[in-house]
């Protein structure tokens, strides 16, 4: 699918859109882009209107000096969908995109019919050593050296190092390497550092939405995880699913951090079944107020 572009608040936003029917929004992870959904985009577009953006600071979108918090990403996503003429839909987020999806459901519950979290951040402290190291002070001085062409050309050697750190060959390494390769210019590196440090510090993930998961009890929710995920452990998903009444948890035994790439056919089947067997949420302001007060009274 070809990239399309729109200008929002003076910045270029790249996205892919295809299909017809109920809206499904696919949100990628950190250093990723809409290309991570290539294996599932067209099959989903046979039944749904699918929108996959490149978040600001990622892919073909602009990389301005600005706000890269989860709240800013959620607001930008809301604005993109509004500009494209979409009211509400099923919000699917992977890794950092899962945090954006949860923030979207928190800030704009009226725009979210369902929430699907794929190997999501924001549900516990554990995260791979590489990302914790990238959040260290001074890492912005090291990244330009590591992302230089002469280092990227030694990809096989670095791939071996990543393998020894527990990252499995296949989509996990491919996606991480593609993301790492995108940090070749200063704007992309700056966006990466600001996005990363907003959610991770050297001790692990610093954002945990577990205390607000009760707000999802009136929204059909599914958590989908690869059992071999070494970036964010599947235990985060299991624990979070138990906190949300009626939540569906799907474990992909042969997948890592990118189950939509490891097992795309099963991913499409599971997501389609979830959409077909659940009624879209219709949460208004009074519903949201009642949920908030239910934990305060």
Residues involved in catalysis: 95, 229, 257
With tokens 């996990």, the residue in question is 172
What stretch of H or E contains 143?
Answer: helix 139-146
Residue 185: CA atoms inside 13 Å, Cβ hemisphere, count? 9
Contact predicate 29/36, CB 8 Å: yes
Are the CB atoms for 262 and 254 separated by under 8 Å? yes
Is residue 81 within a helix (H) or strand (E), and if so which, with residue range? helix 70-83
CA atoms within 13 A on the CB side of 101: 35
Round to whole Å and give the CA distance between 246 and 224: 14
| β-strand pairing of 200-201 with 11-18 | unpaired
Tell me the DSSP string of 86-127. ---EEEEEETHHHHHHHHHHHH-GGGEEEEEEES-SSS-S--
Rg (CA), the chain: 18
The CA distance from 198 to 243, in Å, is 24
Q: Which residues contact 22 (CB under 8 A, 6 or more apart)?
A: 48, 49, 89, 90, 113, 275, 280
């Amino acid at each position: 699918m070809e990239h399309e572009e729109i200008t929002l608040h003076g910045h270029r936003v790249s996205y892919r859109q295809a299909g017809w029917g109920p809206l499904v929004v696919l949100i990628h992870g950190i250093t990723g882009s809409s290309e991570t959904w290539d294996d599932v985009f067209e099959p989903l577009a046979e039944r749904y209107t699918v929108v996959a953006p490149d978040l600001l600071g990622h892919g073909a979108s602009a990389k301005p000096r600005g706000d890269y918090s989860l709240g800013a990403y959620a607001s930008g996503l809301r604005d993109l969908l509004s500009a494209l003429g979409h009211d509400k839909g099923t919000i699917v987020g992977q890794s950092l995109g899962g945090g954006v999806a949860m923030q979207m459901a928190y800030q704009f519950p009226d725009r979210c019919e369902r929430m699907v979290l794929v190997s999501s951040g924001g549900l516990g402290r554990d995260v791979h050593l590489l990302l914790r190291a990238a959040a260290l002070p001074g890492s912005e001085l090291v990244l330009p050296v590591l992302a230089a062409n002469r280092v990227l050309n030694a990809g096989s050697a670095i791939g071996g190092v990543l393998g020894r750190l527990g990252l499995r060959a296949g989509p996990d390494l491919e996606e991480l390497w593609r993301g790492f390769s995108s940090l070749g210019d200063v704007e992309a590196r700056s966006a990466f550092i600001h996005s990363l440090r907003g959610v991770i510090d050297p001790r692990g993930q610093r954002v945990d939405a577990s205390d607000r998961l009760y707000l999802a009890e009136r929204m059909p929710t599914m958590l989908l995880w690869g059992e071999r995920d070494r970036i964010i452990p599947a235990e985060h998903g299991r624990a979070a699913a138990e906190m949300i009444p009626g939540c569906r948890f799907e474990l992909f035994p042969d997948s890592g951090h990118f189950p939509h790439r490891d097992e795309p056919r099963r991913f499409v089947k599971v997501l389609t079944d979830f959409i077909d067997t659940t009624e879209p949420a219709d949460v208004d302001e009074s519903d949201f107020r009642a949920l908030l007060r239910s934990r305060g009274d």
